[in-house]
Amino acid sequence: MIITVTMNPAVDKTVSVGTLARGGLNRVRHVEYDAGGKGINVSRTIRELGSSSIATGFLGGNNGRAIAAALLEKEMETDFVWVDGETRTNTKICEENGALTELNEPGPFVSGEKQRELLQKLERYAKEDTLFVLSGSVPAGVKPDIYGNIIRMVHQKGASVLLDADGELFKNALAAGPDMMKPNRMELAQYAGRDDRISDEELLKIAGAVQKQNAGKIALSMGADGAMFFLGDYRVKCPALPVKVQSTVGAGDAMAAALACAWSAKCDVEETVRLCMAASAGAVTTTGTKPPSRELVENLLKQVVIEKL
């Protein structure tokens, strides 16, 4: 069983423009609205890949109801905690040259009582054949040690955890020893006190050290530079697949979803890498934050190139 945890969901509003004119008038070419938030994106992709999950976290207000209705329409299982206030709207501005500008709202304040309600849900789900996907930011009122606390709690029940977070959330959760991680170049560089100009060789060293000390499996997404995978002793790099990019939003979430599906299906390491690369590449060909179709992912699997590190 896969449980995705989205503490700060959003209605994703993706706006397409020619070239963004800062401080000037911009005429919108196209607008997409999607039920979003990193964990929800993971659940949507898991469904497209032919597997299933339970999406949980916090929802509130009209935006929360819209997200719940969208997931119900797709016949996805959910178990959210409802809070006061309004689930946020995140605006993503996509330019025709591929540049992406994101305007992410903070989300509602979540009380300690509601946080305890969510933790109780997660503890009830936790058992040896359960994978929790902890991804994305947290709303106001939630401390940055929340993911670390969840990891320790569900580990006591024998459950596994896939982490996809950044900043203090990443740092605190890493100390708790997640079973799998899906950082991107910037997140791993920030953890090491570097910027995004970090070289692949340095990333390799940092990821290797993190794997040895804190996590058994790491999928490191690097955008147009492809990805690196550290799956036990299996360490490889894959160039990005040559696909037409519509939007890079959600590509990392698709890779996390593929990693979760591979765990559920007990895929071997090469199958895992191919699925992660194909799902991520498929995601960038879609508009908004829509997941790739299973057919597209299957067609891309054979295009994945694997290079030993």
Closest listed residue to residue 154, CA positions, set 181, 133, 183, 175: 133
In CATH, what number is assigned to the domain containing residue 127?
A: 3.40.1190.20
Domain that holds residue 95: 2-19+30-308
Provide the pLDDT confidence category of residue 230 given band limits of 50, 70 and 90. very high
Position 292 in a domain: yes
**Helix (H/G/I), strand (E/B), else coil: 161:** strand
Position 24 in a domain: no
> Cα(203)–Cα(215) distance, rounded to whole angstroms?
15
Q: Is 253 a catalytic residue?
A: yes
Say whether pLDDT at 21 is over 90. yes
State how beta strands 30-36 and 180-181 pair. unpaired
Position 76 in a domain: yes
| 232 φ, ψ (degrees, to nearest 5) | 65, -130
pLDDT per residue as tens digits for the range 277-308: 999 999 999 877 789 999 999 999 999 999 99
Given a contact cutoff of 8 angstroms between Cβ atoms, the answer to whether 118 and 88 are in contact is: no
Amino acid at 170: F
> Cα(277)–Cα(254) distance, rounded to whole angstroms?
9
Identify which has the larger pLDDT, 32 or 258: 258
Note the pLDDT of residue 163: 97
Number of domains in the chain: 1
| 37 φ, ψ (degrees, to nearest 5) | 105, 140
Find the catalytic residue in 12, 34, 164, 253.
253
Mean pLDDT computed over every residue of the chain: 93
Position 25 in a domain: no
Say whether pLDDT at 268 is over 90. yes
pLDDT per residue as tens digits for the range 204-227: 889 888 888 776 799 999 988 999
CB within 8 Å of 34: residues ≥ 6 apart: 11, 12, 14, 70, 288, 289, 290
Position 178 in a domain: yes
Q: Where are the beta strands (DSSP E) in 60-155?
A: 77-78, 81-82, 88-95, 100-104, 131-135
Query: Which residue do the tokens 């963004």 mark?
Result: 20
Find the helix packing angle between 38-48 and 251-265, rounded to 10°: 50
pLDDT per residue as tens digits for the range 117-164: 999 999 999 999 999 999 999 999 999 999 999 999 999 999 999 999
